[in-house]
Amino acid sequence: MVAKNIGEPVLRKEDARFITGKGNYTDDINLRGQAHAFFVRAPVARAMITSLDCSAAEAADGVVAVLTGAQVAEDGLGSLPCGWMVLSKDGSEMKQPPHPPLAADRINYSGEPFAVVIADTLQQARDAAELVEVEFDELDAVVSVADAQSGPQIHPEVPDNTNYDWELGERDETLKAIENAHHVTRLSLVNNRLIPNAIEPRAAIGDYNSGTDEITLYTTSQNPHLARLVLTAFVQLAPEHKLRIIAPDVGGGFGSKIFIYSEETVVAWAARKLDLPIKWTADRSESFLTDAHGRDHVSEAELAMDENGNFLALRVKTLANMGAYLSTFASAVPTYLYGTLLAGQYKTPNVYVEVQAVMTNTAPVDAYRGAGRPEATYLLERIVEIAAQEMNMDPAELRRKNFIQPEDFPYQTPVALEYDIGDYEASLDKALAMADYAGFSARREASVAEGKLRGIGFSCYIEACGLAPSQVAGSLGAGVGLWESGEVRVNPTGSVTVMTGSHSHGQGHETTFAQLVASQLGISIDDVEVIHGDTGKMDFGMGTYGSRSLSVGGSALMKAADKIVAKGKKIAGHLMDAKSEDIDFDDGEFKVRESNLSKTFQEIAFAAYVPHDYPLEELEPGLTEKAFYDPANFTYPAGTHICEVEIDPDTGVTSVVKFTAVDDFGTIINPMIVEGQVHGGIAQGIGQAMLEHGIYDETGQLQTGSFMDYCMPRADDLPNFDVGMTTTVCTHNPVGAKGCGEAGAIGSPPAVINAITNALGVREIDMPATPLNVWQTLQNATHEDARGE
Amino acid sequence: MYNFNYHCPSSLQEAESLYAKSEDPMFLAGGHTLLPTMKQRLNAPTDLIDLAGLTELAGISREGDVLQIGAYTRHADVAASELVQAAIPALAKLARGIGDTQVRNRGTIGGSVANNDPAADYPAALLGLGATVVTTKRAVPADEFFVDMFETVLEEGEIITAVTFPVKGDAEYIKFANPASRYATVGVFINRHNDGVRVAITGAASSVFRCSEYEAALSSSFAESALNGITLRTDNFNEDLHASVDYRAHLCAVIAKRVIASMV
Amino acid sequence: MSIPISMTVNGKQVSKSCPANRTLGQFIREDLGLTGTHVGCDTSQCGACTVHLNGDAVKACTVLAVQAEGAEVTTIEGIGTKDDLHPMQTAFRACHGLQCGFCTPGMIMTGIDLVNTASRDNVELGEAEIREGLKGNYCRCTGYQNIVRAVATAAQQMED
């Protein structure tokens, strides 16, 4: 492998183990003498536990212990906290109910665990769980977002079931602009609840060493250090230095494995309590019930325009469902990851958004791929599409007219963010060409001739990624800093071990980061090993979410590699009797400028560890460098997605016949991996738009609790995607990267729905546009037409 | 899954006698309905009697105008069978559309028929083709075999040994699949022959049924237009997250017309 | 009820005793320690647990271990080695047909079955057929495009 490999589609290093079945996922780990945990879960959504008798379960074959919420409380285990403080309009702090790892007296959602059976085998634990005798006094559940504030109060700490009433932007200016506008487009819409469904279910193994008093927790986490911080500083599970968290190979996360859940907390606690390794792996049914769900907003919006279609103001009111407890990041999702994105790619001068977060007796809702930004994009790109209809303008041209222009950067939006760079028209133009927009009307005619409906829809999205400048995040309520750490360890033979605080659960960091570091150091990527996911190995790390790994984690590694080069120059200068300022480092060689003297990277590494001829009085031996990188700003990936659908009006079946995505992710290290990330994001976005919907019935029972009812995108549901890139390089991180993990899921849903409404000739349809929904919408439209005539 | 006693008899007689002796037994064929429900502890037989060892239950043969498919014949084998493809191509096509690759490599016609899932495919073929279900005790015409949701005329301990299909006329089956489960939301099987037309619909109602309204209309005129204006009785139609009663009723006509279109 | 069973797994004879209610998936993972076969659901849909039973792709979560008595079982660990990969394994890497890797063993095993079956039945294995043939395998990462490409690529190589 050549050294210069930035921008090359290098095949992935990690694949070698995954394609041969040698991956090491949490459930693949078995510790000697381990016991198994089975959680006893509430079959009802809201109830008081009036009696709980575990004696029969405790006496059952193989049972080691049955632990309950009361014991959790007795041991002083704290509540699972939400890490982001959001203030209401009146300055008051958000209302946060306690979230005990095991419910002690009250049940707040169906599937909530209130006891755990630990037994020699999983079968025994599960059998014994049926012997736990519990009685519930069932209460009316609060289920729908719309009714949450008027429903019975779920938590004493949360009046009106409302955590906060938050606002952003200039209210008065916005209202005035709307009042005086030439035209106002109004829209009510729902952002459907999603269930993440990484194919690897969550799992955890707690292990305790009484000799060292150290707990080791193997778990399916996107951010093991963050988990350790929360479990020690807040939950008080153990002192921070006595808890090691290992997140080995993790089979997809999409946000759902960021959070600190009951099960891993309990497994780690019980391992110490019982001095026994304890393993738990979720069934898919448990994943459905208890993994934090995503989205679930109800919104109203108004977009004001002048007579030429220039956007004047946007007003948004949103109710966001938080579920039964405030999950780890939940409060930030519908506020700082949502309201701040409502300017989109447009120079709308006034934007005002109000968000009320409400609690319901459903599983907690938190970040899911895109987290807030898909909701913002969906709202904005839907209302812009409808505005174009109402203004009788081409939807692409209305967008173009309102784009922030390249010369406007840095651009301060009315909703807090300062975009550093972008070229939105370039993406739009490229997407229009790739999608053959000009040929659409002919394709539509051809479809109509065959009795089909055809539609095209746009979405010009922007996202704020690369979470996050710590001081900005802190001023907005974040409980942690959001930098990243990286360490480059050059071994004496010149091979390199890279430690990163980012975590790969499908993103291919072992390859991308190896490319980055190898390129910086002029060595082969085969000589770079990237290690992540173990608090015992790397200093600290904030983990992977919010498309942050390359722009923040990669930047830390670049800085560390730069330090290696700087130290290497000093060593090389000593060895070649030159000043370090006169040493150039290029392609793996340290060269004395204007001479033919040079030393290879490997020679310098060896010299650093075998310092026989070495400036020891000025320089420490060894060649290991660390860096912490705190970004100066968010990054702003943006692009245009265009979806073309064909609909069979007889059945409502919609086929995505063409999907074009043109994205600007800044500098790209590995285009193959980036394209793969885009594919996956679009698949989840099409899933949201057409297939997926988490539904509870009025009693709080999850009706879509398995793959039999929750419709996951399959291979035959999806088309091939046409992916293109435009590039403006991020101005403030050394890599120049913006992040690519979430763009597909953010950009695609409105493109799909805009295409479907375009095909159907209707103003609105809710997601998911299932065959039933599309058919019903057509029926209603036909009836309305009939009445209209 | 609760534990159970596992038996793998080598003859039908042995299977029947094991069943008679066991407290709460169930027969196991391909297991693709039974095992998932056992894993979720919704089924808890004391004894599971695996029919896999009964070699006489597998295999496909044709004698004159009768195609016989052994009860333990997997969907994949029916789909790939040249005999079936030549005799009743619609049946091979139906088998090829059941579940997915892996399901078809395990699931059997006998298991599917005995289970009578209201959204299963095979019952539509049996009813549409006027097949006969052969059991250890008798031969039952398909018209009498399917009773209601998950219910057939099978008695305790009775084992399906084969299904025989008359080879006559032409036939076609089209399924409109539930987007999540891929079971039939509506599946229409039509068989046209010298004596008339048989139409069987699966997925729509609590059990597969013959659609007499469509049959009458198509017997006089085998054309899509013959179905215009026919309203189906929908009192026992299914309703779920993915299809309302009205939608299902509408789909019956749409899918039936597509079947007709592919046959004329 | 514990039952003695014997089968051939990846070419090796295995004899063990296991309870009747143990699935083939549990047996492979827990009794044989072959953890390349993954379990991703409990309703027989996701296909992560796909192995070959007497040459056919099946979901190991929906077969009892005792049903595999006397059978030949092949898992992801049995189709190729790091230095001598099966063409399907090579193609998945070459086409970037995997991200988190969790569904990958099942995908590869199903992909091999699709190619073998199509070749046996002499039917074309185009994009539509591959997409249809993979509907019993869920992937949440890739959007399937590169998986489909990988199966098509491997099909070519397996023919040659």
Rounded mean pLDDT of A577-591?
96
Rounded mean pLDDT of B114-122?
97
Q: Which pLDDT does position A106 carry in this prediction?
A: 97
Spatial strand order in the sheet of B47-50: B5-7, B47-50, B25-28
Choose the closest CB to A691 out of B2, B176, B179: B179
Determine whether the interchain pair A776/B244 forms a contact, defined as Cβ–Cβ distance below 8 Å: yes
Topology at the third CATH level for domain A15-20+483-629:
Aldehyde Oxidoreductase; domain 4 (3.30.365)
pLDDT band at A775 (very low <50, low <70, confident <90, very high): very high
Determine whether the interchain pair A284/C42 forms a contact, defined as Cβ–Cβ distance below 8 Å: yes
What span, in angstroms and rounded, lies between the C-alpha atoms of A287 and A194?
12
Contacts of A505 in chain C (CB under 8 A): 100
Looking at A403-552, list the stretches that DSSP marks H as alpha helix, in order from N- to C-terminal side: 424-434, 440-449, 470-475, 509-521
Predicted confidence (pLDDT) at residue A782 exceeds the cutoff of 90: no
Q: Which pLDDT does position A3 carry in this prediction?
A: 43
For A415, which DSSP code? T
pTM: 0.97
Q: Which pLDDT does position A5 carry in this prediction?
A: 80
Optimal mutation site among A121, A124, A288, A650, interface B, most CBs of chain B within 10 A: A650
Provide the CA B259 distance to its chain's centre, in angstroms: 18
Residues A249-298: tens digit of each pLDDT: 999 999 999 999 999 999 999 999 999 999 999 999 999 999 999 999 99
Across all residues in chain A, what is the average pLDDT? 96
Residue A156: CB atoms within 10 A of its CB come to: 10
Cβ-based interface (< 8 Å): residues of B facing C: 1-6, 8, 28, 31-32, 35-36, 38-40, 48, 50, 52, 76, 80, 99-103, 105-106, 182
What span, in angstroms and rounded, lies between the C-alpha atoms of B37 and C2?
21
Taking the domains of chain A in order of start, what are their residue ranges? 15-20+483-629, 31-139+203-281, 297-467+633-788
Residues B155-166: tens digit of each pLDDT: 999 999 999 999
Optimal mutation site among B22, B105, B183, interface C, most CBs of chain C within 10 A: B105
A654 forms beta bridges with A647
Residue A133: CB atoms within 10 A of its CB come to: 12
One CATH from 3.30.365.10, 3.90.110.10, 2.60.40.1180, 3.40.50.150 for A297-467+633-788 = 3.30.365.10
Residue A516: CB atoms within 10 A of its CB come to: 30
Question: Residue A238 is which amino acid?
Answer: A
Q: Domains in chain B, start-ordered, CATH in brackets?
A: 5-53 (3.30.43.10), 55-166 (3.30.465.10), 170-263 (3.30.390.50)
Choose the closest CB to A772 out of B2, B181, B244: B244
Q: Is the peptide bond before A410 cis (omega within 30 degrees of 0)?
A: yes
Interior CA angle at A456 toward A726 and A666, to 5°? 15
For residues C99, C103, C104, C108, the Cα torsion angle rounded to the nearest 10 degrees is: -150
What span, in angstroms and rounded, lies between the C-alpha atoms of A361 and A357?
14
Residue pairs spanning A and C at CB distance below 8 A = 175
Please check whether the two domains, A31-139+203-281 and A297-467+633-788, share a CATH topology. no
Question: Is beta strand A47-53 parallel, antiparallel or unpaired with respect to A133-138?
Answer: antiparallel
Distance from CA of A529 to the nearest CA of C (A): 18
Distance from CA of B91 to the nearest CA of C (A): 17
Residue pairs spanning A and B at CB distance below 8 A = 42
Determine whether the interchain pair A706/C41 forms a contact, defined as Cβ–Cβ distance below 8 Å: yes
Q: Would you say A531 and A13 are in contact if contact means Cβ atoms under 8 Å apart?
A: no
Tokens 């995040």, residue? A473
Element spanning B82, H or E: helix B82-87
Asked if the C-beta of B243 comes within 8 angstroms of chain A's C-beta atoms, the answer is yes
Q: With H, G, I as helix, E, B as strand and everything else as coil, classify residue A77.
A: coil
Element spanning C2, H or E: strand C2-9
Predicted confidence (pLDDT) at residue B180 exceeds the cutoff of 70: yes
**Quick one: residue A7, left, alpha or beta (phi over 0 = left, psi -120 to 50 = alpha)?**
left
Q: Which pLDDT does position A783 carry in this prediction?
A: 80
Residues A638-686: tens digit of each pLDDT: 999 999 999 999 999 999 999 999 999 999 999 999 999 999 999 999 9
Choose the closest CB to A708 out of B180, B247, B250: B180
Closest CA to A80 of A289, A223, A237: A237
Tokens 């990188």, residue? A629
Residues A408-445: tens digit of each pLDDT: 999 999 999 999 999 999 999 999 999 999 999 999 99
Contacts of C21 in chain B (CB under 8 A): 1-4, 38
A645 forms beta bridges with A455, A656
Class of domain C2-78: alpha beta
Choose the closest CB to B3 out of C19, C50, C133: C19
For residues A714, A716, A717, A719, the Cα torsion angle rounded to the nearest 10 degrees is: 120
Residues C35-47: tens digit of each pLDDT: 999 999 999 999 9
Contacts of B180 in chain A (CB under 8 A): 691, 704, 707-712
What span, in angstroms and rounded, lies between the C-alpha atoms of A661 and A751?
10
Residues A223-237: tens digit of each pLDDT: 999 999 999 999 999
How far is the first Cα of chain C from the last one, in angstroms, to the nearest whole number?
Answer: 48
Choose the closest CB to A680 out of C92, C130, C141: C141
Question: Residue A318 is which amino acid?
Answer: T
Asked if the C-beta of C81 comes within 8 angstroms of chain A's C-beta atoms, the answer is yes
Please check whether the two domains, C2-78 and C87-159, share a CATH topology. no
pLDDT band at A17 (very low <50, low <70, confident <90, very high): very high
Taking the domains of chain C in order of start, what are their residue ranges? 2-78, 87-159
Q: Which pLDDT does position A4 carry in this prediction?
A: 62
Chains contacting B (3+ CB pairs below 8 angstroms): A, C
One CATH from 1.20.1250.20, 1.10.510.10, 2.40.340.10, 1.10.150.120 for C87-159 = 1.10.150.120
Determine whether the interchain pair A21/C75 forms a contact, defined as Cβ–Cβ distance below 8 Å: yes
Q: Would you say A76 and A143 are in contact if contact means Cβ atoms under 8 Å apart?
A: no
Asked if the C-beta of B101 comes within 8 angstroms of chain A's C-beta atoms, the answer is no
Collect all residues with Cβ–Cβ distance below 8 Å to B110 and sequence separation of at least 6. B29, B51, B57, B70, B71, B72, B73, B159, B160, B161, B162, B163
Token pair, residue A439, equals: 């040929």
Asked if the C-beta of B244 comes within 8 angstroms of chain A's C-beta atoms, the answer is yes
What span, in angstroms and rounded, lies between the C-alpha atoms of B103 and C63?
11
Closest CA to C157 of C121, C111, C122: C111
Q: With H, G, I as helix, E, B as strand and everything else as coil, classify residue A9.
A: coil
Contacts of A17 in chain C (CB under 8 A): 101
Assign domain A31-139+203-281 to its CATH superfamily: Aldehyde oxidase/xanthine dehydrogenase, a/b hammerhead (3.90.1170.50)
Choose the closest CB to A506 out of C82, C135, C141: C141
Q: Which pLDDT does position A191 carry in this prediction?
A: 98
Contacts of C59 in chain B (CB under 8 A): 102-103, 106
Residues A724-733: tens digit of each pLDDT: 999 999 999 9
Q: Would you say A540 and A629 are in contact if contact means Cβ atoms under 8 Å apart?
A: no
